[in-house]
Structure 1
Amino acid sequence: MADESNTGPVAAAVAADAEVKAPTAKKKRSRPPQKAAAEPAQQKAPAAKPRRYSDQERNGKLKPVETQVSEGNTLKNAIQSAGISEQTHYHWKGAAKPVGKKDAKSTKPVPASDELADLVELEEENQKLRKRLAEKLRGENAELRKRLGLD
């Protein structure tokens, strides 16, 4: 039998593998050569200057979209018929809202007594409307019960 304590050739192979596995510096790649200047026939036409709409034109395109949507048309179809993109529509719509808020802030402040009187008036109107709605719903409910034969 062979002597198992003799590791001479194995130890030499392990040492040789360690030398082979030693990290080597990576080669640096050179950049590819620059292409020659583009040929005149392949040059792209200059980009068209973006269209700028005035506030009147924007409102002129937004109003028909709102009316079409209120008539039951889908928002996407209404925007397409106006000739603008959805992103443009939302951008214009968002830009139009803060203008209205600025106008509301520029109005004169209302005296506290007028605010209180308006609040009381609104509360009374609210109560009347709630009562009217409750009566209407009770009537509809009674009619449905009659139709279904639940009474």
Structure 2
Amino acid sequence: MADESNAAPVAVAGATDAEVKAPTAKKQRSPRRPKAAAEPVPAQSKAPAAKRRGYSEQEKGEKLKLIETQVTGGSTLKDAIKSAGISEQTYYQWKGAAKPVEKKGTKGTKPIPAGDELADLVQLEEENQRLRKKLAEKLRAENAELRKRLGLN
């Protein structure tokens, strides 16, 4: 036996749920702000961009020597390059340009080093020729002595 007093609150509760679940109107967005025109930024607030600068051959050589001495002193290559104020790419380009270029396919030709290295190389080659001649004379003398002992002469 259903009690009618019990049914009323159920109906009222059902009606309130329907009101809560009713779709609400979409929230309106405010229109987008127009993009601001690019304003020049004062130089003081912005870090200065790396200015491309041409280095003379002498400056390049000095920086390469500086990097080399720092690396031999125990510093890492990256740190030495950074302390010289150049990029790694620049370092390797300069290093590649400083090396004499070898032509492929030509046998017996040697690249010509620059400056003091050339004088040192010439001096070493002269000494090498002198020592070879001395060795050849010594070997001829030993060979002649052995032939005499064996009676082949």
- Which category of TM-score, normalised to the shorter sequence, fits these structures? 0.3 to 0.5
Larger Cα Rg: Structure 1 or Structure 2? 2
TM-score with structure 1 length normalisation? 0.42
TM-score when scaled to structure 2?
A: 0.42
